[in-house]
Amino acid sequence: MAGADAGEAGFTLVEVLVTLALLSVMAALMLLVAGQFRGLAARQADLAARQEAAAIVRHLGDEIAAARALPLMGADAAQKSPMAGGAAGLRFSAVVRTGSANSGLREVLIALRPGDRPRLVEIRRLRRMPMIAATEPEIVLADDVEALSLRYLSVDGWSGDWQGRPELPRAVDIRLSLRRNGRIVSAAHVVTTGLR
């Protein structure tokens, strides 16, 4: 403002242009930082989904590892089968946690419930006489389950079915896929059973 009259106040064109240039550089830097935060948030959500799937599979593995060679309730007396399972569900007796510090013998049912948002559930039933009916709550382990695959190892190899056998399988292969944030995340775990 060197050439301006003493009574005039204002900015020169050069000052306005320099200010606009500085503001545009700052805006560009802020957009760059915001873009990095969005990418970081997406990676964090993906990691959380993978950790969720891995934790569910580990939980199922711990439950299956605790299986006992006791006949299932209501099983045919000739079969005395300790485990009944297919590709997407499983039933067995196990010693499981029943509180913060207690454990108890329960019959465990793991099943995939179909629907708009398929869910993986676990039901723990007290082992009691079949004539005593009880409804146990479903524990929802996961919603939006894309797939659950269970395979069972016997002396003959892997099978997708474990029905009517008088022993526990040597191992169970658990594979779980969940739909999270528009993507599929998967986890897998192989657990041994009945080797105590």
7 falls within a domain: no
The Cα–Cα gap between 90 and 77 comes to: 20
39 falls within a domain: no
* DSSP 8-state class, residue 72: P
Specify the number of domains making up the chain: 1
29 falls within a domain: no
Helix, strand, coil percentages in the chain from 3-state DSSP, rounded to 5: 25, 35, 35
109 falls within a domain: yes
Q: Record the pTM.
A: 0.76
42 falls within a domain: no
For residue 30, report the phi and psi dihedrals to the nearest 5 degrees: -65, -40
5 falls within a domain: no
Give the domain range for residue 94.
49-192
Contact 80, 71 (CB under 8 A): yes
15 falls within a domain: no
10 falls within a domain: no
Low-confidence ranges of the chain (pLDDT < 70): 1-7, 75-79, 128-135, 194-196
Q: What pLDDT digit, counting tens, does each position of 143-181 carry?
A: 999 999 999 999 999 999 998 888 999 999 999 999 998
The Cα–Cα gap between 108 and 126 comes to: 9
Q: What pLDDT digit, counting tens, does each position of 133-151 carry?
A: 556 788 999 999 999 999 9
Query: Taking CA 130 as the corner, what is the angle to CA 134 and CA 89, rounded to the nearest 5 degrees?
Result: 75
Query: Taking CA 14 as the corner, what is the angle to CA 11 and CA 17, rounded to the nearest 5 degrees?
Result: 95
Determine the pLDDT at residue 75.
58
173, two tokens: 């292969």
